[in-house]
Structure 1
């Protein structure tokens, strides 16, 4: 089966199960295997390394394409593909060779776990994980309250740790089966419930240097942040597209009354998508992270407006359960502003930068 046919099969499965994936945790174990079968996890990974080839822009397109059918599945894909990006950009060749094939075939789930680290990078909060030198490497302790794709069948999670000896923070990859690693029950989310989202705790977990993604967390985080946020923005793009498509399929009278607004928003979304992919690929967002923050904020507004148009076009039918997905998409859209870094955090960071520039 070629890649197009594989994705069409995945899309059909997602369309069938999208409401269940949002509302129930019972299908959580199926999501990653379906994404692997749909040949989406290896997009943007060099063929020489076992991937599908292409660029990070192609991976963003893939996250968006999945989000058009299910934000839960796109959230899982974002977590998994972002972890793969960490592997690709790791300073540790031994780590790369060991874990990448297992991620690409779905043998293990990748969980980013770096929301705390990204907030640390923006001076929003301190690191919550701590590393101490140990005879066998490093003893790790701490907890993170919210990580996606902590698949019960097996996961590996990235997290940032400060060091007791004062050396720069590191990023470690934490396997699920090491002593002291504990996954909580699934968080009681109002949606996205099949995303294997839970808290993670490590208690004196010992890992050697092979599990250290980088020994220089701050500079490495700056390097991977465009991919982290770019892939995350793919969720907004796909959800907005889905809402605009549903709007276009509503009754003629409803469509006509908002035709101009819908067309303008479609053009805005297309422009934002192009700007996102170009900025991630050409290095603009590495040099000017504020431009990426501003675009992420703008995409939240686009999603909000797209869902508003869908609600207007669908009318009372959209307020019924199991009637075209409008209610689900409204719940999904409520998540977009709060995924880390949240809208509030990004706006605060931009305000700090403006004050610093004015000083």
Structure 2
């Protein structure tokens, strides 16, 4: 792919033709470059770095993250729907890669919503174009904010920034030249918390291999150790995070719908393919492809409506976001389960798509915020 990403500004609303072009290019990359790698990604843990960079060049990571210097960009400049659609196209072929796309999208989302103009000017466009790849690093902080875990990173102020120490057990889409988001507490400052972007190649930052997964092994998921790692002020996203986290949380969650939508659409295709020769017996299964198509259409309408107002501060809006994400995870597992039943033994072989989809689908339900965390969040908000 030689297409160059064109970042939006406040006054540059992307035309429908450009959006169609972006999605067409993403489709071509998914079919031509990604599809042949799927088994190696799944069975050998291959990281599709060239695909990730090509997707960035095609514009997949930039539409929801305008790196404008304006202090209050128009909400219309944050096109989450196109980002979700692009991710879902990738997810139809490979959820591992779609998850990496979400990691990249989340990192771009953090930077675009920061008040750090230098970060938006320097690193932001490189992340949005795929020149720089990276992860989210917010699994532990998101759990910490809802009382599930303690925050694992602590920092102290030093000249020009902070020194941060601690360990994050699961951070994905990483490499020696990648970046990732972090949140750390400042003991002695009344539990003040700071969010920043860390560089994997920085002194004091170490990435190490983690356990093998049953799926998603091609996501470059590592444990991160920070030992007095220097985080310059130029890399700070928010200090403190009190007003910043509510701004990014809905987009962070809604973007994950792209993984689910791609998964579900792929499973519908598998069920329909199986029906070409097994319809005489598959018709007796209680859940049919059309049932999931209707469900998917309804979920897409809800998510895309929510994606138009990602900065809505109301409790009612956030409850809808949580419920939409919960429904997407549940539907992913249900669709993959039924794809396996429809395919039967054909889907149960080592290279069978149905069994791969079933393994991948559980990740949609357990990635932060996981099904159990989403239900806890609803309970905490009085909406369980």
Q: Calculate the TM-score normalised by the size of structure 1.
A: 0.90
Q: Which residue of 2 aligns with 1:266?
A: 293
1:4-153 residue pairs with structure 2 within 5 A? 4-5=24-25, 7-46=27-66, 55-152=79-176
How well do the aligned residues superpose, as a CA RMSD in angstroms?
A: 2.4
Specify every segment of 5 or more residues in structure 2 that has no aligned partner in the other structure, as ranges: 4-20, 70-76
Residue 219 in structure 1 maps to residue 219 in structure 2: no
User: 55-64 or 100-109: which moved more?
Assistant: 100-109
Q: Which runs of 4+ in 1 moved over 3 A?
A: 26-31, 45-49, 254-261, 283-286
Residue 300 in structure 1 maps to residue 329 in structure 2: yes
Instruction: After TM superposition, give the deviation of residue 136 of structure 1 in Å.
Output: 3.2
- Given that residues 7 and 39 in structure 1 are in contact (C-alpha distance below 8 angstroms), is that contact kept between their aligned partners in structure 2? no
Instruction: After TM superposition, give the deviation of residue 54 of structure 1 in Å.
Output: 6.9
1:180-329 residue pairs with structure 2 within 5 A? 180-250=204-274, 251=277, 252-254=279-281, 256-258=283-285, 261-283=288-310, 286-287=313-314, 288=316, 289-323=318-352, 325-329=353-357
Aligned residues: 351
- Given that residues 226 and 286 in structure 1 are in contact (C-alpha distance below 8 angstroms), is that contact kept between their aligned partners in structure 2? no
Q: Aligned partners of 1:284, 1:169: CA distance in 2, in Å?
A: 21
Q: Which residue of 2 aligns with 1:172?
A: 196
Instruction: After TM superposition, give the deviation of residue 337 of structure 1 in Å.
Output: 1.4
Q: Would the alpha carbon gap of residues 338 and 285 (structure 1) be closer, same or farther in structure 2, given more than 3 Å must change?
A: farther
* CA-to-aligned-CA distance 1:306-337 (integer Å, 9 cap, x gap): 112211211111111224x1111011012121
Q: Which residue of 1 aligns with 2:11?
A: none
Q: Aligned partners of 2:83, 2:100: CA distance in 1, in Å?
A: 14
Instruction: After TM superposition, give the deviation of residue 151 of structure 1 in Å.
Output: 2.2
- Given that residues 172 and 211 in structure 1 are in contact (C-alpha distance below 8 angstroms), is that contact kept between their aligned partners in structure 2? yes
Q: Calculate the TM-score normalised by the size of structure 2.
A: 0.85
Q: Aligned partners of 2:142, 2:112: CA distance in 1, in Å?
A: 18
* CA-to-aligned-CA distance 1:92-148 (integer Å, 9 cap, x gap): 111111101221332321211011121222232221111101123211111110011
Q: Which residue of 1 aligns with 2:73?
A: none
Specify every segment of 5 or more residues in structure 1 that has no aligned partner in the other structure, as ranges: none
Q: Aligned partners of 1:33, 1:313: CA distance in 2, in Å?
A: 36
- Given that residues 109 and 156 in structure 1 are in contact (C-alpha distance below 8 angstroms), is that contact kept between their aligned partners in structure 2? yes
- Given that residues 19 and 328 in structure 1 are in contact (C-alpha distance below 8 angstroms), is that contact kept between their aligned partners in structure 2? no
Q: Would the alpha carbon gap of residues 121 and 281 (structure 1) be closer, same or farther in structure 2, given more than 3 Å must change?
A: farther
Q: Aligned partners of 1:331, 1:85: CA distance in 2, in Å?
A: 28
